[in-house]
Amino acid sequence: MDKGGIRVSSPSGRWILFTTVLGSGMAFLDSTVVNVALPKLGEDLGASMSGLQWTVNAYTLTLAGLILLGGSLGDRYGRRKIFVIGVAWFAVASALCGLAPGIQTLIVARALQGIGGALLTPGSLAIIQSSFAREDRPRAVGVWSGLGGVAGAIGPLLGGWLVETAGWRWVFLINLPIAALVVATAVRHVPETRDETTTGRFDVLGAALAAFALAGLTYGLIERGSAVPLVAAVAGVALGVAFVVLEARRSRIGPVSPLVPVRVFASREFTAVNIVTLIMYAAMGVVFFLLVVELQVAAGFSPVAAGCSMLPVMLLMLLLSPRAGDLGRRIGPRLPMTAGILMCAGGLLLMSRVGPGSSYLLDVLPAVTLFGVGLSAAVAPLTATVLATAEERYAGVASGVNNAVARTGSLLAVAAIPPLVGLTGAAYTSPVAFTSGFRAAMLVSAAMMACAAVLTFVTIRTNALREPERRAACELGAPPLEPTEPTEPGGETGTGTPGAHPTSRPG
C-alpha cells in the first residue's frame, strides 16, 4: 500500500477510521462525562468546591498544555506508536481515577489522564491525514469530526446513567475496555507514518514553556482575587511570549528542532482558521459547561434527562459532518464555516431563554438543534482547512496546534466567563441567580460566535482546501491550479483528472 493511498471505502480505511475515532472519542468523552458525576464524587470523597473544580481543570490543563508535544512526538517517532502509547497511558490513568481513595489522588490522576489525551488526540488526526488518499481526506476528517462530536455530546448522558446505575467510579473505569480495543486494532490495522525530514534535538524547553504558560494563565483566571493568582497570570503571559521568541529563533537556528516551526504559520488561512478555532471553541466550552448544570439547577431536569438534552447535537453531527466535509471540498470552506458558525450563534441566543419552568420541546430542543446543525456545517471544513493549509510533513504539528488552540479557548473561557457574569460561590444552589448568569453567558458566547463568523468570511479563501494541490503543482514547475468545479461526487475535477481535488485537525 503506497503511503497516503488508502481509500475510506476500503477495509483498511474503515479500520483506520474506527481506531482513530474510538481512541480520540475516548478522550473527548472524558472531557464532558465527568461533569455530571461531580456532585456524587464530591460527596463520596468529601471534596470542597475547589477540589471539584480542579478535578475538571487538571485534565484540561495538561491536555491543552502538552498537546503540541504530542503532535511533535508523533511526527518524529511515529504517529501510530505515540497514539498507542497515549491510549495505554490514558487507560492506566483512568484506572487510578476510578480507584482514587481521596480527592488529591483523583486530581493527580486526572492530570495524568490529560497527558495521555495529549499524546493520542493529535496522533489520531495526523494518522488520517498521512494515511488516506488526498481525495478522501476531507470525507475522512468529516467522519472523524462528526463521531468526535458525538463522543463529546454523549458524555453528559453517559455520565448521568453511570452515576445512577453503577457509581461515579465507572465514569473512569469504562475507559479500560475501550482502550484495550483501540490498542489491539491500532497495532494490527493502522500503518506507521512519520516525518522523515525531522532532524536535530527535541525541543524540551519549548514544550515546558508552552505548558507552564498555559498553567499560569489559567490559574490566574480561576483563582483570581489575590496577589498570587495575579503573579501567576503575568508569569503565564511572560512565558507565552518567551515560547514564541524561542520557537522563532529555533526555526532559524539549529541544532534543536522547534516544537512549532514558524513555517507552519506561513499560510494566512492556517493562522486565521486557528484564531477562528480559539473564539469558536471558547464559546462552545461555556455552553457544554453550563447548559447541563442550568437544566438541573433551574429547570429541574434529572442528570440523565439533562444529558439527553444534547442528543440532537450528537445525531446531527453524526449524520451531517461527513457531508459538510464533502461540501467544503467542492465549494470551499468559507461559506459552510461562516453559515455554520452563525447558526451556532443563533442556537446560543435561543438557549438564553432556558430557565425555571422551561420545556424541553419548546425551549431546549429548538436551541440545541440549531446549534447542532451549525456545528455540523462548520467543524469538518474548519478541521480540513487547518490540515490542508499546512505542509503535509507538519501534519502532526498542525493537528497539535489546532487541538491546543481549541482546548485553550475552552479552558480560558470556562475559567473567565462564569465569574464575569456572576456565577461564583454558591450561585449554583440558587435557580434565579444561576439562570441570570447563564443567560448572560449565552449572550456573550453568541457574540463570540458572531465574531468568529465574520472573521471566517473575511479571511478564509473559498479555495483554501486546494492548497496542497497548488503546492504540488508549484513544486513540479506548473502554474498554480485554478479552482474548478467537480463533475462527479467521486472526486474528478472539471479538468477530468481523477482525484485532483482538495486534501485535508480539534475538540
The reported pLDDT for the residue numbered 282 is 92
At residue 422, the pLDDT reads 81
Of residues 325 and 107, more confidence is placed in: 107
The dihedrals phi and psi of 132, each to the nearest 5 degrees, come to -85, 155
Reported confidence tier of residue 290, pLDDT bands at 50, 70, 90 = confident
Q: What is the mean pLDDT of residues 169-181?
A: 91
Q: Which residues pair with 6 in a beta bridge?
A: 132
Write out pLDDT tens, residues 344-396: 999 999 999 999 988 999 999 999 999 999 998 998 888 888 877 777 667 66
User: Which residue did the predictor score with more confidence, 158 or 341?
Assistant: 341
| 18 in Cβ contact with 182 (< 8 Å) | no
Q: With cut-offs at 50, 70 and 90, classify the pLDDT of residue 498.
A: very low
**199 vs 337: which has the higher pLDDT:** 337
For residue 199, the model assigns a pLDDT of: 62
The DSSP H or E segment spanning 240 is: helix 227-252
456 and 329 in contact (C-beta within 8 Å)? no
Question: Could you report the per-residue pLDDT of 46-72, keeping only the tens digit for each?
Answer: 876 567 767 877 888 888 778 777 777
- Straight-line distance from the first to the last Cα atom of the chain, in angstroms, rounded to the nearest whole number: 30
193-465-453 Cα angle (round to 5): 120
Q: What is the mean pLDDT of the chain?
A: 79
Average pLDDT of 402-424? 82
Residues 6+ apart with CB under 8 A from 16: 6, 127, 128, 131, 132, 189, 190, 191
Total residues found in the chain within this entry: 507
- In 56-188, DSSP assigns E strands to none
% of the chain with per-residue pLDDT over 90:
24
Which pLDDT does position 371 carry in this prediction?
A: 95
The answer to whether residue 470 scores a pLDDT higher than 60 is: no
- How far is residue 61's CA from residue 285's CA, in Å, rounded to a whole number? 14
CA distance 371 to 299: 20
DSSP designation for 190: P
Q: Look-up: residue for cell 475516548?
A: 26
Give the CA distances from residue 362 to residues 289, 291, 306, 345, in Å, rounded to whole numbers and listed in that order.
22, 16, 15, 18
Q: pLDDT tens across 211-262, in order?
A: 888 888 877 877 776 788 889 889 989 998 998 888 888 777 766 777 777 7
Helix (DSSP H) and strand (DSSP E) numbers for the chain: 17, 0
What interhelical angle do 395-420 and 103-131 show, nearest 10?
140
Q: What is the pLDDT of residue 425?
A: 66
> How would residue 106 be classed by pLDDT, with cut points 50, 70 and 90?
very high
Q: Please, which pLDDT band fits residue 445 given cuts at 50, 70 and 90? A: very high
499 has a pLDDT exceeding 60:
no
Which residues lie below 8 Å from residue 313, measured CB to CB, with a gap of 6+? 149, 153, 368, 371, 372, 375
Give the ranges where 253-333 is alpha helix by DSSP (H): 268-297, 303-308, 311-331
Q: Which pLDDT does position 333 carry in this prediction?
A: 86
C-alpha cell at 492: 474528478
DSSP code for 134: G
What pLDDT is stored for residue 493 in this prediction? 30
SS3 content of the chain, % helix, strand, coil (to 5): 75, 0, 20
At 260 the pLDDT is: 76
Three-class SS state of 256: strand
* pLDDT at residue 114 is higher than 70: yes
Q: 202: how many CB neighbours lie within 10 A of its CB?
A: 16
Decide which of 476 and 466 is more confident. Answer: 466
Q: What is the pTM of this model?
A: 0.74
- Give the angle 239-207-95 at the CA atoms, nearest 5°: 120
| Per-residue pLDDT reduced to its tens digit, 249-269 | 877 776 677 777 777 777 788
Q: Which residue matches cell numbers 455552553?
A: 287
Q: Which helix (H) or strand (E) holds 458?
A: helix 431-459
pLDDT of residue 3: 47
